[in-house]
Structure 1
């Protein structure tokens, strides 16, 4: 069994790391966080590198990469500026992945070439005020009137909805709990579509929004996959879960790595009792635990990704990866604050930003508890 990185993947990691070092010094990351500003300029620069087409098939203008390539990208960006990885995810996951996996041929030709160039941004609207982990209980409705669907309802915690061109919207089109959901490609310029930004604790600049649909008209051809995919929304979502879990795992690994390196550098420089605090065994052991658990999480994540590339059953492994990477990164970020002591509790040092950013990763994309439920079922419990 060999799931080591290829030469091309190592080159990708080096390229992205050089980009983040050049374009995202700490002061830029702090500014974006403090201003709660969507990183549109940095997203455009990433697009200029051709990275937005990383998982778009070559026949549609992309690089034809796999989930491992995507994870390398998300991990490296998240080390420097996690919110930029989420902004890229609006294109790479919610655009490229959704359209190439579930789109009709017409939709692939229409959107994938533009997505690969970073010319269009997507968002994904599933969660509602009363439909979080119980996603199938959505109430947003789409009714057929005069040959068009009319959508009414609301969504919440939708990343990038206010800066996107298309919001892939899950709406109820029939009574069956799972078999009555349809995905629609809703243009944000549509009459009756509106958003309200939500102030987040972390991932500031992600443009997390409430979304409102007030008699929003959608043509039949904007059903994801075409009219023949009416009521296929739940099935379409299930096809994306392994990818989503693995990309969120990569985000957690990047934040964990950034938080670890920040604490490690501080421990080497900060002196107490006449010597660096990193020479004290209690600090050494804490940093050793952080490094070891981070490496274990990384091995699990990329092993799960390797299984996905081999088209092997890996629901258990991707769920393990998502929950374990999120929890390990959270623990690392918290320990980083502790190592910095009083300075870790101030907004002038970046330790607090890593902690604020990482917290959502054990919530979004399926909570840690939901992931454990899935793993339990996979174990036959």
Structure 2
């Protein structure tokens, strides 16, 4: 649905206040504790942040893509770990159900996902299958009214808190690549499902990734999403939307870092004047602002096109590539503008520098985005639509 401008503005202001008043003051605490306080999670539930992409009939806010991106910009103004708490419910954990689930599946799980009482994760990546997602080896073999799942998923966000997993598994061993893959909802308490310990990561402390292991886990046929062999279509549809969302979060972080750079450069003095008066500092800040503005415009254009029903596969990859790479450059410049202070934990800039590195990896690496963009251009040219 297209959101009423007044309601949209009120929602954005609510999220902005939440980020400014509740998240920003405890960024260092979350990093030190490697956990987001439950009180903050509860407030996110009250704001409806877990259900922003879930239809209203299941208790969600049903935001259109443009409004979701505007919310994501605001969530990006603090440590990405906060957004990650609800991130899988907003995106890859819930959207397979939203886009392809049966009415029975939606009624069973979406209300809990929307309220935040159920945490949903997306289990695609494996030890030997990441960017080449079609090479996954987790198997789901039909046995009467069930499928028997065996395999290991790796780097699964929020797996240690998840109640549900959207799992991609190979149901037809005779079909190589994407054709033999199907999608399933697997409940955490299913016998044979276990979750490993959270990995120690470069950044985003407070957001957790773990292995998920399936050992003869019996999953009802009724839990399959879409038809057998349609799992890759489900996964790619989910990722299109997720790439726009992550682009917006990354751009929000860039905006936060620009604010930090400008304020510091106005206060810090060298050679008898604020470093903001030195042209080489101005250049780094100006380049950051220009790139961030370009990223914001790209994201909103692609989001509006998706809301209008257009195929935005190529545009989503363009935004993901540009916005996340730009965020990396902005974070690097922020360390440079802060100088030695940018390398010291107390200022928080080095934490952001580490936190944003993952943006160029998950939801498809920058190199995968380049491949998708080139592929879509080639297809358009062959169809005479370029």
Q: Determine the structure 1 residue equivalent to 2:18.
A: 19
Change (3 A) 1:67 1:4: closer
- On the 8 A contact 1:151/1:215 being kept in 2, the answer is yes
- On the 8 A contact 2:247/2:324 being kept in 1, the answer is yes
Change (3 A) 1:39 1:236: farther
- SS of the counterpart of 1:94? coil
Q: Determine the structure 1 residue equivalent to 2:384.
A: none
Mapped to 2, the partners of 1:39 and 1:306 lie a distance apart of: 35
Q: CA deviation at 1:4?
A: 12
User: What is the aligned counterpart of 2:280 among 276, 279, 282?
Assistant: 282
Q: Determine the structure 2 residue equivalent to 1:132.
A: 130
User: What is the aligned counterpart of 1:231 among 229, 232, 243?
Assistant: 229
Structure 2 residue 217 is the aligned partner of structure 1 residue 219: no
Q: CA deviation at 1:192?
A: 2.1
Q: CA deviation at 1:356?
A: 0.7
Write out aligned runs for 1:285-300 (5 A): 285-300=283-298
Q: CA deviation at 1:34?
A: 1.9
Q: Determine the structure 2 residue equivalent to 1:241.
A: 239
Structure 2 residue 364 is the aligned partner of structure 1 residue 363: no
Q: Determine the structure 1 residue equivalent to 2:157.
A: 159
User: What RMSD in Å do the two structures reach over aligned CA positions?
Assistant: 1.8
Gaps of 5+ in 1: none
Mapped to 2, the partners of 1:280 and 1:82 lie a distance apart of: 31
Q: Determine the structure 2 residue equivalent to 1:72.
A: 70
Structure 2 residue 201 is the aligned partner of structure 1 residue 203: no
- On the 8 A contact 1:39/1:205 being kept in 2, the answer is no
User: What is the aligned counterpart of 1:35 among 27, 33, 36?
Assistant: 33
- On the 8 A contact 1:54/1:69 being kept in 2, the answer is no
- SS of the counterpart of 1:240? helix
Change (3 A) 1:36 1:180: same
1:166-199 deviations in Å (ceiling 9; x for gaps): 0111111103221211111111122222222111
Q: CA deviation at 1:136?
A: 0.4
- SS of the counterpart of 1:79? coil
Kindly report structure 1 stretches of 4+ aligned residues shifted beyond 6 Å: none
- On the 8 A contact 1:258/1:354 being kept in 2, the answer is no
Mapped to 2, the partners of 1:287 and 1:5 lie a distance apart of: 35
- On the 8 A contact 2:79/2:352 being kept in 1, the answer is no
- On the 8 A contact 1:39/1:87 being kept in 2, the answer is no
Q: CA deviation at 1:244?
A: 0.9
Mapped to 1, the partners of 2:31 and 2:121 lie a distance apart of: 21
Mapped to 2, the partners of 1:334 and 1:104 lie a distance apart of: 46
Q: CA deviation at 1:69?
A: 1.7
- On the 8 A contact 1:198/1:209 being kept in 2, the answer is yes
- SS of the counterpart of 1:312? coil
How many pairs are equivalent? 375
* 88-97 or 180-189, larger mean C-alpha shift: 88-97
User: What is the aligned counterpart of 2:116 among 101, 118, 129?
Assistant: 118
Write out aligned runs for 1:254-273 (5 A): 254-273=252-271
- SS of the counterpart of 1:213? strand
Q: Determine the structure 2 residue equivalent to 1:47.
A: 45
- On the 8 A contact 2:50/2:87 being kept in 1, the answer is no
Q: CA deviation at 1:95?
A: 3.9
Change (3 A) 1:181 1:40: farther
User: What is the aligned counterpart of 1:87 among 80, 85, 89?
Assistant: 85
- SS of the counterpart of 2:96? helix
Q: Determine the structure 2 residue equivalent to 1:182.
A: 182
Q: When the two structures are superposed, what TM-score results if normalisation uses the length of structure 2?
A: 0.93
Q: Determine the structure 1 residue equivalent to 2:336.
A: 338
Q: CA deviation at 1:146?
A: 4.6
* 363-372 or 186-195, larger mean C-alpha shift: 186-195
Mapped to 2, the partners of 1:4 and 1:172 lie a distance apart of: 39
Q: Determine the structure 2 residue equivalent to 1:169.
A: 167
Q: Determine the structure 1 residue equivalent to 2:8.
A: 9
Mapped to 1, the partners of 2:320 and 2:185 lie a distance apart of: 27
Q: When the two structures are superposed, what TM-score results if normalisation uses the length of structure 1?
A: 0.94
Mapped to 1, the partners of 2:231 and 2:83 lie a distance apart of: 26
Q: CA deviation at 1:273?
A: 2.2
Mapped to 1, the partners of 2:36 and 2:14 lie a distance apart of: 23
* 140-149 or 195-204, larger mean C-alpha shift: 140-149
1:205-225 deviations in Å (ceiling 9; x for gaps): 211111111111211111124
